[in-house]
Chain A
Amino acid sequence: EAGVVQSPRYKIIEKKQPVAFWCNPISGHNTLYWYLQNLGQGPELLIRYENEEAVDDSQLPKDRFSAERLKGVDSTLKIQPAELGDSAVYLCASSLDSRDLNEQFFGPGTRLTVL
């Protein structure tokens, strides 16, 4: 069974440029999460989707970050414009659903460097 797929694995951009990350969750998983992981820190939740609905986006900086999960499968996280402080690893995770605290399966992440 394929795991959570993320692309690209690495991205280097200049500040003020836009950037997008893509995530394909495990087949059949209804819940999708985007996390931000700064160097030397644990992941922090940005947004959680139940199917195509964003049910928790309280930590998403909405002035520059946006996300979508059309058709309740793949998801895209966008930053526009990127700032130096956005350099981090962006992780996607999925679970069957959020009832009973089902295990979250993580992708390998996208490492973003903003110059």
Chain B
Amino acid sequence: GNSVTQMEGPVTLSEEAFLTINCTYTATGYPSLFWYVQYPGEGLQLLLKATKADDKGSNKGFEATYRKETTSFHLEKGSVQVSDSAVYFCALALGAGGTSYGKLTFGQGTILTVHP
């Protein structure tokens, strides 16, 4: 089956520190990969995505590269801010060809807290 595994949290950093949240996946076929973010009291929002191997998704200073050889999609940011405190979810979705098309499979989420 399809699954996503994220690094255990919570992650606590000081402002301007470097962030890495690891994500690995298993999938039948060639999935698209996503990072969603959930700020306190809000719904999940798409942060970035990559649809094929070696693609790099980026948004708001965050980046993640689709690594097929290591089945990974690690999230990175060079300098975090207090406003980045949230829960981050890695997810995959498969393409056309079955009833599961478009279904997002999520990791368990990683809580990030950034202190001033």
Number of interface residues of A (CB under 8 A): 28
B107:A42 contact, CB within 8 angstroms: yes
Tell me how far the C-beta of A77 lies from the nearest C-beta in chain B, rounded to whole angstroms: 16
Tell me how far the C-beta of B19 lies from the nearest C-beta in chain A, rounded to whole angstroms: 19
**Contact A56/B44 with A41-B108, A42-B91, A101-B32 known, Cβ cut-off 8 Å:** no
B101 within 8 A of A: yes
Tell me how far the C-beta of B26 lies from the nearest C-beta in chain A, rounded to whole angstroms: 15
Counting contact residues on chain B (CB < 8 A from A), the size range is 20 to 34
- CB < 8 Å neighbour of B43 from A33, A55, A102, A107: A107
Bound: A109/B87 CA distance, A: 15
Bound: A93/B108 CA distance, A: 18
Bound: A21/B109 CA distance, A: 24
A48:B103 contact, CB within 8 angstroms: yes
A4 within 8 A of B: yes
- CB < 8 Å neighbour of B45 from A45, A58, A99, A106: A106
A4:B43 contact, CB within 8 angstroms: yes
A44 to chain B: which residues have CB within 8 Å?
A: 106
Bound: A74/B111 CA distance, A: 32
Bound: A58/B95 CA distance, A: 18
Tell me how far the C-beta of B42 lies from the nearest C-beta in chain A, rounded to whole angstroms: 6
B109:A41 contact, CB within 8 angstroms: yes
B41 within 8 A of A: yes
A-B contact pairs, 22 of them (CB 8 A): A41-B108, A41-B109, A42-B106, A42-B108, A43-B89, A43-B104, A43-B106, A44-B106, A45-B103, A48-B102, A48-B103, A56-B99, A58-B99, A91-B44, A93-B44, A98-B102, A99-B96, A101-B51, A101-B102, A103-B46, A106-B43, A106-B45
